[in-house]
Chain A
Amino acid sequence: MPVFLNMSVSFTFLRPFARFLVPFTLHRKRKDVCSTVLQKYMSSKVPAVSYPNKERTLPPEQLELDGWKITMKSSVQEEGISAVSNSKDEDPLAATRELIEMWRLLGREVPEHISEEDLKTVMESPSKSSKRKYLKYLYVKEKMKKAKQIKKEMKAAAKEEAKKDKLLETTEDDKQQNFLFLRLWDRNIDIAMGWKGAQAMQFGQPLVFDMAYENYMKPKELQNAVSQLLESEGCNRRNVDPFHIYFCNLKTDGDYYRELVKRYGEKWDKLLLTATEKSHVDLFRKENIIYLTADSPNVMTTFKHDKIYIIGSFVDRNMQPGTSLANAKRLKLATECLPLDKYLQWETGTKNLTLDQMMRILLCLKNTGSWEEALKFVPRRKHTGLLEVSQYSREFVNQLKKSKTFNTFPKGSLNIRTKKRWLK
């Protein structure tokens, strides 16, 4: 104990001079000295007898509780004290950067590395919560990137292993093998899809994406919308009988256009779809157009092959109900919504589906005409199963759903069809 005190005293005495007298390398050493002292001290403590029923006789004063403060105080910052004084007149950017660093130390969800651009975005966010949200987004992004990197490395390692194993196996190289095709499948598939796309451009049923919602969306939502468009276009391309896609109201100086060109790159000009600044009412006759919107009072009963369906390419996360319905009303177009309530036992979530889900549903309807098949593309988390429209009234099913008796059934048997089977 006295030793320890002596040590600390000598330190506090030395501290003002330390920076001048002791070369920098010694700092670490001193830290080590400290810690060894601490450890020595801690280990020299008589271990308490760990009988649970026996009271420990050591009063708390005997436990050295404040030792850590000395080491904490005596450890000098990397830049030294001078940094504190000049932190008063630093620019807000650096301050924000430090704030993020401190939040990281606190275990908050903030990214480890942040670019200047992102830092500016964080700095300009008006409120604390918006700062946090953006930082969390960056943090998640960073995490995903890291995870991907690790996966990549693992895959590469596995490949190496496989290669080695292959080399060990003695293969008969001189044995001639007979093949019918060269391995050029991907390219062939692409070309085939291209032909089909060209055919759709000539004879396919039009499907319009209305791009008039640029101004209703925040940048984040717009990016999501573009991702969904890419996804939809991909599904359409792979389908047996693709639609002829139109991007209407696509302004060439708008954000949508810029983002699409950025994402598609060189492919943009070779896409087999029609992108136009014109409105859908200029291209088609009004009476053939059906605007699909979840707010519509009219329920779609069948898929009509002679109509032109319009999907508003609009990701709406900040609650602007009725925007697309208003657009359709303005142009006096017919509107329809999917018969989700009629066929599905809806649970949670909005009835606005993503663009790619809409695309898949429409393709499925076009090819099979069966609602049950098509509505499989509605996310399963949003509903508890298909309704047997013909046999049970909706009310009855609702009652069944609410009833507690169902808890005795195995999971998933909320689906009425399985329920019926079980009863027979």
Chain B
Amino acid sequence: MTFCLFGFRSFSKLWKNNSYLWLGPGNSLSLFLVDCYGIRNKQRWFSLTTVSPQNTKAMNLLIAKTRYHRKGDEGSNKQVSSDSPHLFAAGAAKKRAQMNPQSKDPVSPPLRNTVQLPTKPLNSEEWDKLKEDFKGKANFENWISSQITHCRSSVDVAKSLLAWVAAKNNGIVSYDLLVKYLYLCVFHKQTAEIFDVYEIMKARYKSLEPGAYTLLIRGLIHSDRWREALLLLEDIKKVMIPSKKNYDDCIQGALLHQDVDTAWNLYQELLGHDLIPMLETLKAFFDFGKDTKDDQYANKLLDVLLYLRNNQLYPGESFAHSIKAWFESVPGEQWKGQFTTIQKSGQCLGCGKTIESIYLSPEEYEFLKENIMRNVIDGGDQYKKTTPEELKRFQNLVNNHPPFDIVIDGLNVAKMFPKARESQVLLDVVSQLSKQNLRLLVLGRKHMLKQYSRWRKDEMEKVQKQASCFFADDISKDDPFLLYATLHSGNHCKFITKDLMRDHKACLPDAKTQRLFFKWQQGHQLAIISRFPGSKISFQHILSYDTVVQTTGDSWHIPFDEDLVERYSYEVPNKWLCLRRKT
């Protein structure tokens, strides 16, 4: 099925690129006319359009029709999965993006220099000749060494280059060439060469810079001299905080040589610098854990899992396998792991246990409400997003009203269908919801109340009969009000908008609060999936459970990222690792 889809997609693309006839209004037709009648007629067409408006209308209609048809075609090409994933499921955004493809011209790669890179060591005459052939602006030695490094040539080629350079300048090779050479040696795992370069660097330079240190660390950890990598790490610390990759290398080196304490100490240090460890580092601890039967070590691994939980990190697929393997290797506990998914009801398909609820605890809820008020609405200057008077008006409305069940972002909902009239769409949604006896709040802006072609007064009056409304000033932001009204109404209240609220999330002060916001958003945001106006509205499925690493003592549920699914930062994985102890 998917293969067939692929075919369709690429086919339609080809077709699009061949003729611009259906790409958009106006332009395509003019091109078409040029092709058929040449320039003169085109001119006439232009004059026609300016003279008779009817004609353009007809043209536009024609174009609209064809576009509509194309849309229809696409719709039939696309597989509308019956069990649509929720708004924040991994890969959902990518799918959404594919629904309205944007033609992008492929960027042509830059022209490469014509010098052929050597594949085997050259002697000095050959290097000289190569230098003569080189017609770039850059320094030849720098350029060629960069190219050699970039293409990961063999170490011998690089060596012969260095020999040639050294012969030219009294046996001196400059530092940058040395570093590039070191990169190659590390890439090809030539430990002896790495040692040599290390000795040379120690002899020539008092101190190095982080780039070379990083390469040396990476080169040394696999050898017997891995302890020197730790000294190099100390050298980096003198000038800056080492990167998580530096720590990763050192920890991997320590684990490789069975020095567990050093590894854990480095890990603690890494956390102390507020760096987020690479998942490879954590995976290495689990992989190593399979061969150690030690309670202390096991507890530390469980701490790592809790770290994943607290920071809402998700292991990758291979890491998930490592976790599973480690659990299953724990002696005497008989863990059983399986890869599974979670049902909509929030029950694990593997063991039937219910996953943690998406709802916040009362303390978290209060904390988030407070933060939204202080940072998103107020933000140190109430005039930025609203005005104090307006805020008062809004708070009066919210406080003097029983809690709402649903808060609607009027403008977002109304603009769902570009072809339909805004007030009509809004009225449809509101009346459908009010039939279910829900207390509604519609947020909008004052311009919606003025009589426009797109905002009919009578329809807006009907909306106001069926729901409470709050209209902000035209230059105020309406989303913060939406968030606050929903939070204020309590845990049962949901809000309707397609907006992902990323800019408001960014206003929150720290990552922890942002994660809290995201968790709340997953549980309370309804996004409408209606294909056309007038149809019965249906909502994106809301998650009832929280996608996070979790445990009940004798079971663990760990969401993980699949290798082949691209997940955006505002999405959560949908594959789980379910571990339980046989009792």
Contact = CB atoms under 8 A, between A and B. Distances in A.
Contacts of B211: 106
Size category of the A interface is 35 or more
A297 B344 CA distance: 45
Interface stretch (A77-85, A139-147, A224-232, A373-381): A77-85
A330 B475 CA distance: 13
Contacts of A69: 196, 200
A102 B205 contact: yes
A300 to B, nearest CB: 16
A189 B494 CA distance: 70
Interface string A140-177: 00000000000000000000000000000000000000
A71 B43 CA distance: 76
A168 to B, nearest CB: 40
A32 B170 contact: yes
A95 interface: yes
A373 B167 CA distance: 64
Interface stretch (A19-27, A40-48, A256-264): A40-48
A146 to B, nearest CB: 19
Q: Tell me what chain B mostly uses at the interface: helix, strand, loop, or mixed.
A: helix
Contact of A31 (B170, B199, B384): B170
Interface stretch (B117-125, B218-226, B306-314): B117-125
A107 B178 CA distance: 12
A326 B381 contact: yes
Contact of A405 (B27, B49, B199, B203): B27
Contacts of B49: 396
B46 A423 contact: yes
B209 A71 contact: no
Interface in A72-95: 72-73, 75-77, 79, 83-84, 87, 92, 95
B259 interface: no
Contact of B209 (A99, A323, A327, A404): A99
Nearest to A91: B238
A53 interface: no
A79 B176 CA distance: 21
Contacts of A31: 170-171
A310 B37 CA distance: 55
B171 A65 contact: no
A28 to B, nearest CB: 9
A48 B156 contact: no
B565 interface: no
B162 A68 contact: yes
A325 B383 CA distance: 8
Interface in A97-116: 98-99, 102-103, 105-107
Given A45-B124, A60-B121, A103-B209, A323 B384 contact: yes
Contacts of B202: 84
A64 B171 CA distance: 13
A63 B175 contact: no
Nearest to B20: A404
B523 interface: no
Given A45-B124, A105-B175, A403-B30, A330 B239 contact: no
A322 B172 CA distance: 58
Contact of B208 (A42, A102, A323, A405): A102
A421 interface: no
Contacts of A330: 383
Contacts of B179: 106
Contacts of A38: 166-167, 171
Q: Tell me what chain A mostly uses at the interface: helix, strand, loop, or mixed.
A: helix
B95 interface: no
Nearest to A63: B121
Given A34-B170, A72-B200, A83-B206, A297 B474 contact: yes
Nearest to B196: A69
B212 to A, nearest CB: 8
A344 B202 CA distance: 61
B348 interface: no
A95 B203 contact: no
Nearest to B162: A68
A68 B171 contact: yes
Given A72-B173, A102-B205, A65 B26 contact: no
Given A38-B171, A403-B30, A95 B129 contact: no
B475 to A, nearest CB: 5
Nearest to A419: B46
Contacts of B474: 297
B48 to A, nearest CB: 12
Contact of B171 (A34, A392, A396): A34
B204 interface: yes
Nearest to A320: B384
Contacts of A252: none
7 A-B pairs with least C-beta separation: A71-B171, A403-B27, A68-B166, A399-B26, A326-B383, A102-B209, A105-B175
Interface of A: 31-32, 34-35, 38-39, 42, 45, 47-48, 50, 56, 58, 60, 63-73, 75-77, 79, 83-84, 87, 92, 95-96, 98-99, 102-103, 105-107, 127-128, 131, 295, 297, 322-323, 325-327, 329-330, 391-392, 396, 399-400, 402-405, 423
Interface of B: 20, 24-28, 30-31, 34, 42-43, 46, 49-50, 120-121, 123-126, 129, 142, 156, 159-160, 162-167, 170-176, 179, 196, 199-200, 202-212, 238-241, 243, 381, 383-385, 387, 474-475
7 contacts: A45-B123, A48-B126, A72-B171, A72-B200, A72-B204, A87-B207, A399-B25
